[in-house]
Amino acid sequence: MYKSLLTTFFKIGLFTFGGGYAMIPLIEEEIVRKKAWMTDEEILDIISVAQSLPGPIAVNMAAFIGYRLRNLRGALMASLGVILPSFLIIVIIAHLLIKANIADKIEPIFSGLMPAIAVMILISAYRLGKKVWWTKQNKVIFGLAAVLLIVVGVHPILVIAGGIAVGLFFNRIFQPFDSAPAVVSTAESHGGVLGVEDRGDSK
């Protein structure tokens, strides 16, 4: 399992261009659809936590997923897997930029790559958005956050902190507007930690 975590996140890290959020569609494809290690609902929860914590969201998500699957060693393997490709690529590009001066040749590649990455992020956001349990409370928070970010221009950190505060206020002080259904995790549905050992993939 550790080897599988390392190789899976190495592949994700290798093709994550355009920032940490570009990693989300790749995680969705690999972790949810191909390997069925987690559900869409669990990935949504991980995204919420990862973007609310310090550090790159890609590394935070990898560590969270790895820990969820195989505790501390799993977190280390997943984090190493997602970091290593970026480290190697940056070292190679820095060497070429300094020694061979190929900046003019690299720029057209990224100018064509960025629009494709933007589409991937939008598609992933649409898919995950359909999985959100849209209570009245969530709709209010969504609307307020959109206005604060787009219209008012409030810093994202303040919006995140405000979302956490509002969520705690309504869920702990008052009854929620709507009750969300209980979600049975993939791990529980397999009768263990994702049933990986039952499939014989324990390395």
Q: Is there a domain that residue 66 lies in?
A: yes
Contact 203, 1 (CB under 8 A): yes
Spatial distance between the Cα atoms of 52 and 24, rounded to a whole number of angstroms? 15
Spatial distance between the Cα atoms of 121 and 143, rounded to a whole number of angstroms? 20
Which of 110, 84, 80 lies closest to 17, judged by CA?
110
Spatial distance between the Cα atoms of 155 and 159, rounded to a whole number of angstroms? 7
Q: Is there a domain that residue 165 lies in?
A: no
Q: Is there a domain that residue 167 lies in?
A: no
Q: Is there a domain that residue 199 lies in?
A: no
pLDDT, position 67: 92
In this structure, what DSSP letter does residue 202 have? -
Q: Is there a domain that residue 185 lies in?
A: no
Which residue range(s) make up the domain with 83?
A: 2-132
Per the structure, how many domains does the chain have? 1
Which tokens in the block code for residue 96? 């070429």
pLDDT, position 102: 63
Reading phi first (left if > 0) and then psi (alpha if -120 to 50, else beta), residue 156 is in alpha
pLDDT, position 183: 44
pTM: 0.54
Mean pLDDT of each 10-residue bin along the chain, 203 residues long: 87 74 80 86 83 79 90 91 86 73 65 72 72 75 85 83 78 53 45 42 46
Tell me how far the alpha carbon of residue 174 is from its chain's centroid. 30
Q: Is there a domain that residue 103 lies in?
A: yes
Which tokens in the block code for residue 17? 């261009």
